[in-house]
Amino acid sequence: MLSRVIGWIDQRFPLTSFVKRELTDYPTPRNLSYWWNFGFLAGFVLVLQIATGIFLAMHYKADVNLAFDSVQHIMRDIKYGWLLRYLHSTGASAFFVVIYIHMARTLYYGSYRAPRELLWWTGQLLMLLIMASAFMGYLLPWGQMSYWGAEVITNLFGATPLIGDRVVLWLRGDFAVGDATLTRFYALHYLFPFLIVAMVVIHMVALHTVKSSNPSGINLAAKDNIPFHPYYTSKDFFGLGIYLIIFCVFVFFLPHLFIEPNNYIPANPLVTPLHIEPEWYFLPFYAILRAIPDMLGGVVAMALSVVIFAVLPFADRSSIPGGAHYRPVFRVMFYVFIVDVLVLGYVGSQAPIGFLVPLGQIATFIYFATFILLPFVSKAEDRWLRARGLPPELQALFEQRPPREKWLRK
């Protein structure tokens, strides 16, 4: 019966062949490590955020007089409302943990390099959309930190030359963050996840065109590929189990870790909290904003720090394929960069006083220096590695395709 139904569909829609080509038989390098689980996990987190979000939206009220109370109504009176809300609020942080690890993996193994530029750039757009969604979602509980966070961040757009004031007005819908801001953020917070889904589809099309990279960075011969199913389905589901265990520890036992005490106080435009601090996932960028003494300069630096990842495919000029696997200098740079981002995160979480000010500035300098130096360092490293002699598998690769000829282009 089932096969007849599928047969009927297949005559009208390429269901079986699509599933076969893109899922079950989809060729995947056999040597992927567990760091390759995070793309699938990001997809899972997205689905969970949308699912919990839709149910929260059934009870939430986007009105400055009702928003805070409606969240408490969800937390107290709706059956398992607290679970929905904690899944969603913890899920936002989990989303960033997962995509930051996913990005770090891409950096470490050089997965952004040709021919995966478009894959990388669509990933960048995804990150921007996720950041925007998270920022707008954070306003909805309408607590003190929601309100003042939105006030401060929208205020940054005032640094836009000439039309700054008008941009801020346009974003807020009013002269200060208020009902107009809340309702538009709510509308957009519902819209953006579906834009993200569309972008994920594009990301997947790009991935399935160029296929997964792998830890060695060398494009593997066909015999080293294995079908996605059952090998990577089983591996992804095991990874999902591990992820869910960690996630549920936070949801069931530490859900307040990601909710500021100040956000349990209803928004009050007349009382400014002592420390206004963005969520942890924005802290490194916030530190960069504050490292520059000038407002416009700070905003530009912050925006640049988010989008600068896009230059990596051009900035990395090594002819050795992949990332850190065959490239010790690149590996050192990677770790310096990661530590630097953690330092920035710490600086961003503290009041800007004492040694933290110069520390933030030095860390900001190192952040950008990494990108600026990469072309030169990667070239020099390339020369040094060749002079030292390449491992046989790379040697073989270059003998097949002389280095002058761009071997990456098929």
Partner 1 sequence: MRIAMKLLSACMLFWLVGGAYAAGMALNKVEVSVDLPALERGADTVIDTCTVCHSLKYIRFRDLAGLGFAKDKVQAWRGDSPMGSVIASKMTVDSALLAFGAVPPDLSLIAKAREGGENYVYSFLLGFYAAPDGMMTNHYFPGTKMPDALGIAGVTDAAQRALLEQKARDVTSFLVWAADPHAQERQTLGYYVIGYLLLLTTLLYFLKRRIWARLNTIQQNQHKE
∠ CA 386-392-394, nearest 5°, is: 60
DSSP per-residue codes, 166-190: HHHHHHHSSSSSSHHHHHHHHHHHH
Give ∠ CA 118-189-66 in degrees, rounded to 5.
170
Whole-number Å distance between alpha carbons of 63 and 146:
14
Residue 189 bears catalytic tag:
no
Tell me if residue 151 is catalytic: no
Contact by Cβ (8 Å): 168, 152 = no
CB of 342 to partner 1, least distance (A): 5
Determine whether 279 is an active site residue: yes
Any contact of residue 59 with partner 1 (CB under 8 A)? no
Q: Which residues between 239 and 258 bind partner 1 (CB under 8 A)?
A: 241-242, 244-245, 248-249, 251-253, 255-257
Distance, first Cα to last Cα, the chain: 44
3-state secondary structure 386-399: HHHCCCHHHHHHHH
Window 304-343: residues binding partner 1 (CB under 8 A): 335, 338-339, 342
Q: Are strands 27-29 and 225-227 parallel, antiparallel or unpaired?
A: antiparallel
Site for partner 1 in 64-93 (CB under 8 A): 72, 75-76, 82-83, 86
- Whether 34 contacts 238, CB under 8 Å: no
- Least Å distance between CB 287 and partner 1? 14
Q: How far is the CB of 29 from partner 1 (least distance, A)?
A: 12
- By CB under 8 A, is residue 175 in contact with partner 1? no
Q: Is 226 in the site for partner 1 (CB under 8 A)?
A: yes
Q: What is the pattern of x (binds partner 1, CB under 8 A) and - over residues 349-378? A: x-----------------------------
Helices 295-307 and 117-139 sit at what angle, rounded to 10 degrees? 130
Nearer to partner 1, 59 or 379 (CB): 59
Instruction: Compose the 6-45 pattern: x for residues touching partner 1 by CB under 8 A, - for all others.
Output: ------------------------x--x-x----------
Q: Which stretches does DSSP call E strand in 233-284?
A: none
Report the nearest approach of partner 1 to the CB of residue 338 (Å).
6
Residue with tokens 């904003």: 289
Question: Coil, strand or helix: which one is 28?
Answer: strand
Nearer to partner 1, 259 or 303 (CB): 259
Q: How far is the CB of 178 from partner 1 (least distance, A)?
A: 22
Beta bridge partners of 27: 227
Told to judge if 208 belongs to the known catalytic residues of this protein, a careful annotator would answer yes
CA pair distance 307, 153, nearest whole angstrom:
17
CB of 258 to partner 1, least distance (A): 10
| 380 touches 319 (CB < 8 A) | no
The nearest distance, CB 354 to partner 1, in angstroms, is 13
Contact 41, 245 (CB under 8 A): no
| CB neighbour class for 112 (10 Å; exposed up to 12, middle 13-18, buried from 19) | buried
From the list 151, 260, 279, 340, the catalytic residue is 279
Distance CA 355, CA 358 (A): 6
Under rule CB under 8 A, residue 195 binds partner 1: no
Choice from 13, 238, 376, 384 touching partner 1 (CB under 8 A): 238
Catalytic residue among 236, 277, 381, 382: 236
- Whether 59 is a known active-site residue: answer no
Q: Which is nearer to partner 1, 157 or 340 (CB)?
A: 340
Considering only CA atoms, which of 261, 235, 281 is closest in space to residue 94? 281
What is the spatial distance between Cα 155 and Cα 168, in angstroms, rounded to a whole number? 6
Task: Give CA separation, 251 vs 52, 90, 211, 244, 259, in Å.
Answer: 13, 6, 35, 10, 12
Binding of partner 1 at residue 231 (CB under 8 A)? yes
| Count of residues interacting with partner 1 (CB under 8 A) | 45
Q: At its nearest, how many Å lie between partner 1 and the CB of residue 244?
A: 5
Q: Which residues bind partner 1 (CB under 8 A)?
A: 30, 33, 35, 72, 75-76, 82-83, 86, 101, 104, 108, 223, 226, 230-231, 234-235, 237-238, 241-242, 244-245, 248-249, 251-253, 255-257, 259, 261-262, 264-265, 280, 335, 338-339, 342, 345-346, 349
Please identify every residue annotated as catalytic.
Answer: 208, 212, 235-236, 279
